[in-house]
Amino acid sequence: MSIELKTKYGQIDISNEVIATVAGGAAIDCYGIVGMASKNQIKDGLTEILRKENFSKGVIVRQDDDSIYIDMYIIVSYGTKISEVAHNVQTKVKYTLDQTVGLAVDSVNIFVQGVRVANP
């Protein structure tokens, strides 16, 4: 599935995997994030932290009419305030998708899948 953007020059189709990779990259840059987690923890393994090439396993992109929703599954660093980390991820992902892809995302839903001690 892909998201279609119509411009005065024509139509642009952007794959959901591209959007998931950009969103995951933006989330990883935020303070307090250890990594992205899989949305299917039981199937994929409880302790798996996703690498850059697998961000689409931890990000779901949904589209209803003209609204775009993103669900992200993250692992937070121990000792950080989870609500602040989640808010920072939401704002950074919305900003990054708007600036790089030109998408106005309606909501970014954060699901914290675990808390870990970050490696120094």
pLDDT of residue 103: 86
Query: How far, in Å, CA of 24 to CA of 35, rounded?
Result: 9
**How far is the C-alpha of 73 from the C-alpha of 58, rounded, in Å?**
5
Is 118 a residue whose pLDDT tops 80?
no
pLDDT at 53: 63
Listed by start position, the domains of the chain span: 2-116
CA distance 115 to 82: 9
**Cα gap 13→28, rounded to integer Å:** 25
- Topology given in CATH for the domain delimited by 2-116: Alpha-Beta Plaits (3.30.70)
For the segment 37-46, what is each residue's pLDDT rounded down to a tens digit? 877 665 545 5
Instruction: Supply the pTM of this predicted model.
Output: 0.82
Q: What is the pLDDT of residues 84-104, one digit of tens each?
A: 999 999 999 999 999 998 888
> Minimal CA–CA distance to 4: which of 51, 72, 47, 63?
63
